[in-house]
């Protein structure tokens, strides 16, 4: 991957942490300690051997390209879906969300602006929880696809799930233009929780307690993997 350092056993620092995150995203169990020791070298060699690369334990451009190219999970985990559902809550009937947009089920956006009677008949009648879960998964897939397009750094599953929750809530366009995405793509993982906490304001410019709680939980999930 252009711009990434050549790493080998004995290397230390943020470049090694990025390497370890990329390996973790591919299923290797590693401490994200920034130390290129025997465990990291073994994971690198195993990845290289499995992907037709010279298994020398040295991380150069070809190994970086192989690691980063598919190092973002592709779909929300079951735990991630439950995480989103606990914040959205189930509503069988149309309602206006805190920002004033017409919504149903587990936070499915029917249209921007308040409910006004022009919504599809299915939604005007009300929906089942099963239908609401289907809408949640559909919406989450759209958020997951946005992450796959926009994120250029490796993510492990809990980081991905936290960001899917965020994009599901604020929308792909807001995420695409956010400082959060710029910080993440610069490799500044530690900046993500603080950036999440900036997205807590409703239409009146005041912080909404529900968003404050959600952003805090997303930050903890991203940083620590704690789904509770």
The CA distance from 103 to 113, in Å, is 9
224 annotated active-site = no
Evaluate if pTM is beyond 0.75: no
The CA distance from 120 to 112, in Å, is 14
Task: Give the pLDDT confidence score for residue 131 in this predicted structure.
Answer: 93
Per-residue pLDDT of the chain (228 residues; tens, 9 = 90+): 445 789 999 999 988 998 998 888 778 889 889 999 999 999 999 999 988 889 999 999 889 878 875 567 778 888 898 899 999 889 999 999 988 999 999 989 999 999 999 999 999 999 999 899 889 888 889 899 999 889 988 788 899 999 999 999 899 999 999 999 999 988 888 999 999 999 999 877 899 999 999 999 999 999 988 998
CATH of domain 78-224: 1.10.530.40
Task: Give the pLDDT confidence score for residue 1 in this predicted structure.
Answer: 41
The CA distance from 4 to 60, in Å, is 8
Name the residue ranges covered by the structural domains of the chain: 14-69, 78-224
Q: Are the folds of 14-69 and 78-224 the same? A: no
Considering the candidates 88, 119, 129, 218, report the single residue annotated as catalytic.
88
Which neighbouring-strand residues pair with 193? none
N residues, the chain: 228
Q: Which CATH architecture has domain 14-69?
A: Orthogonal Bundle (1.10)
Q: Which of 148, 158, 179, 154 is nearest to 222 (CA)?
A: 158
């Amino acid at each position: 991957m252009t711009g990434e350092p050549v790493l080998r056993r004995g290397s230390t620092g943020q470049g090694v942490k990025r390497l370890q995150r990329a390996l973790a995203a591919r299923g290797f169990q590693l401490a994200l300690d920034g130390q290129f020791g025997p465990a990291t070298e073994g994971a690198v060699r195993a990845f290289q051997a499995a992907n037709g690369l010279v298994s020398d334990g040295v991380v150069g451009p070809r190994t970086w390209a192989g690691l980063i190219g598919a190092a973002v999970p592709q779909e929300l985990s079951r735990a991630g879906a439950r995480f989103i559902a606990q914040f959205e809550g189930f509503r069988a009937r149309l309602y206006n969300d805190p920002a004033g947009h017409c919504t149903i089920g587990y936070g499915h956006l029917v249209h921007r602006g308040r409910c006004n009677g022009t919504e599809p008949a299915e939604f005007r009648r009300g929906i089942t929880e099963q239908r609401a879960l289907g809408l949640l998964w559909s919406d989450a897939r759209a958020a997951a696809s946005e992450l796959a397009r926009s994120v250029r750094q490796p993510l492990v599953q809990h980081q991905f799930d936290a960001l899917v929750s965020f994009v599901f809530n604020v929308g792909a366009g807001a995420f695409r233009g956010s400082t959060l995405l710029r910080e993440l793509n610069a490799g500044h993982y530690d900046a993500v929780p603080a950036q999440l906490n900036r997205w807590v304001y409703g239409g009146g410019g005041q912080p909404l307690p529900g968003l404050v709680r959600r952003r805090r939980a997303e930050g903890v999930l991203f940083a620590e993997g704690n789904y509770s």
